[in-house]
Amino acid sequence: MINRLANKVLDLDLFKKVLALAIPFKSAFIGTTILAIALAVLSPLTPFLIQQTVDKYIAVSDKIGLQNIIILLIVVLCTTSFCRYLFIYFSNWLGQSIVKDLRTQVFNHVSSLKLRFFDQTPIGTATTRTINDVEAINSVFSAGIINIVADLLTIVVVLGFMFTTSWKLTLVCLITFPIFLYATYLFKEGIKSTFQIVRNEVSRMNAFLQEHVTGMNIVQIFAAEERELSRFQDINASHRDANIKAIWYYSIFFPAIEIISASALGLMVWYGSNLVLTDGATLGILIAFILYINMLFRPLRFIADKFNTLQMGLVAAERVFTLLETDDTIIDEGTVSADGLKGEIKFNNVKFAYNEVDLVLKGISFHLEAGKTMAIVGATGAGKSSIINILNRFYEIQEGEILVDGVNAKEYKLQSLRSKIGLVLQDVFLFSGSVMDNITLRNPKISEEQVIEAAKIVGAHQFISKLPGQYDYNVMERGATLSLGQRQLISFIRTLVFDPTILVLDEATSSIDTETEELVQNGIQRLVKGRTSIVIAHRLSTIQNVDMIMVLDKGLIVEIGTHEELLSMEDGYYRRLHDMQFLVHG
């Protein structure tokens, strides 16, 4: 992607897509463009008026005329300053407004992607796309296209004034222009490639930091701090080197431009002085040209930098658009509402693979009646969690069908179906915020009374009441200030208050100690009452009272029946699991 852009002066298709982002803010875009044109016209008026002041009023000692033109000059300067203020403000307002809407659009799109996307994409990279790359698009409007147009217009108008005033002096000023353009071209090409490397290094650093800060406990457990620090130092050094290379280009370019512009000024003064002495030009023209040269070279000095800013904004835009065009989303074409769902579940010859090739589930068929509880057991990798993932439509199946109350799951509105399925995972994720917010997920329809009642049902009210601030206690990021068992209890409350018709417990008690488990089991029994429930558990002692147990092995159902029925099979898979587990635990 970057190489493709690097080989183009400007990707017009991409440029059009970026400009289309400004359509909702058309008035601001047009207004800013008008201001750019106004500044291009107003800026050269100052040296022109100074020329008139010197030649027509100071030279002839016209005090009244001098007073009037000074007033006019002050008005022009104030008007120019005010227009420049409006231009800077509105160009940046436009960029930030576009960024705000685009970032919301990106976040909304990312939240609709299949979990496969997050399996394959580092979170730090996705974060870079949503924050750094989107922010870079702001520069396309605030410091890119509109500023380039304004500078180009200024150059054209200034040259017009210069040629009109003295074409000879203008040509002398432009003698160094080819050297200036060549130096600008070299700078543009060099800094462009460097900026691309810098953005890649930023993305790489974000991905590394996010991953390692999140997994810092693993780093410390295995005493890997020095090794990971060494890796970070390498990434950090690469980022530093890329930035230093960019700085090197600037350190060469700007002094070179100063020399070139100073040479142009020196040639103009030398030739202009001769013209003044021979009455070929006036002193006012000479003074005006000194100002014109500054106005001519100043925007040229920065236009290469702004063009690279535009280019890098386009590079970032392509990354963002690529993310937005990622169609790895769950197709939501359902029209059936899940309101009034009873909870009957039926799998008919379901086949599923995470990578579309290697099947994890190889033809699963079962029927779970509404209000009944089914446990799924099996070794790691047998496909237990995969059944949960496809029931919630986090992933799409390759073959077969999943029926809920006799209706294909794809025919339900996605959010409606998911709202009726409560899922309690082994790895509980809590957001930074209060206990209450983590339970309700800021849903205003859930009252504090409902939360407290649910907490009492699952046996969590007692420990929450002892926390500083109770339900307002800040659990910090990922619930770092709570134990595993406490986090699990909060996840039970969260599920209960949303009152699901179908309840899924994915090894929900595996992280809880025996004492806490006894506390939770009571709550689980009340939680599953009247609900269709699927329980995945390694501890077979927790599932003896379920209505049906399904045993999976390598993506296939090898046994299905009640606890007693499966134990009666002498060489059965479940019997072996049961005997091994209870032998180990005494």
Q: How far apart are CA 217 and CA 225, in angstroms?
A: 10
| Residue 414 neighbours by CB distance under 10 Å | 19
Of 529, 520, 457, 525, nearest to 487 (Cα)? Answer: 520
The amino acid at 586: G
Q: Predicted confidence band at 584 (pLDDT cuts at 50, 70, 90)?
A: very low
Q: Predicted confidence band at 486 (pLDDT cuts at 50, 70, 90)?
A: confident
Across 12-49, b (16+ Cβ under 10 Å) vs e yields eebbebbeebbeebeebbebbbebbebbbebbbbbbbb
Which one is predicted more confidently, 499 or 159? 159
Q: Which two tokens stand for residue 314?
A: 């386009």
Q: Which two tokens stand for residue 295?
A: 């106005």
Predicted confidence (pLDDT) per residue in 322-336, tens digit = 777 777 667 777 888
Cα-based angle 394, 396, 400 (whole degrees, multiple of 5):
130
Say which residue the tokens 């500078």 belong to.
151
Average pLDDT over residues 56-74: 85
Q: Which two tokens stand for residue 522?
A: 């009571």
Q: 241: burial class by Cβ within 10 Å (0-12, 13-18, 19+)? A: middle
CA atoms within 13 A on the CB side of 424: 35
pLDDT > 90 fraction of the chain, expressed in percent and rounded:
1
pLDDT > 70 fraction of the chain, expressed in percent and rounded:
87
Q: Predicted confidence band at 91 (pLDDT cuts at 50, 70, 90)?
A: confident
With H, G, I as helix, E, B as strand and everything else as coil, classify residue 210: helix
Across 310-344, b (16+ Cβ under 10 Å) vs e yields bbbbbbbbbbbbebbeeeeebeeebebebeebebb
371: left (phi over 0), alpha (psi -120 to 50) or beta: left
What integer pLDDT is reported at residue 3 of this predicted model? 44
The amino acid at 402: I
For the CA atoms of 530, 536, 537, 543, the dihedral, rounded to the nearest 10 degrees, stands at 30
Which one is predicted more confidently, 57 or 511? 57
Judge whether residue 493 has pLDDT over 60. Answer: yes
Predicted confidence (pLDDT) per residue in 369-410, tens digit = 888 888 888 877 788 888 888 888 888 888 888 888 888 888
Of 497, 386, 380, 393, nearest to 435 (Cα)? Answer: 497
Of 394, 386, 377, 380, nearest to 347 (Cα)? Answer: 386
Q: How far apart are CA 199 and CA 137, in angstroms?
A: 13
Q: What contacts 261, CB < 8 A, 6 or more positions away?
A: 176, 180, 293, 294, 297, 301
pTM, 2 dp: 0.62
Q: Predicted confidence band at 123 (pLDDT cuts at 50, 70, 90)?
A: low
Judge whether residue 504 has pLDDT over 80. Answer: yes
Judge whether residue 92 has pLDDT over 80. Answer: yes
With H, G, I as helix, E, B as strand and everything else as coil, classify residue 103: helix
Q: Which two tokens stand for residue 435?
A: 């206990």
Which one is predicted more confidently, 508 or 345? 345
144 phi and psi, to 5 degrees? -110, -105
What integer pLDDT is reported at residue 155 of this predicted model? 86
Q: Average model confidence (pLDDT) for the chain?
A: 79
Of 194, 102, 89, 197, nearest to 146 (Cα)? Answer: 89
Q: How far apart are CA 486 and CA 493, in angstroms?
A: 11
Judge whether residue 13 has pLDDT over 70. Answer: yes
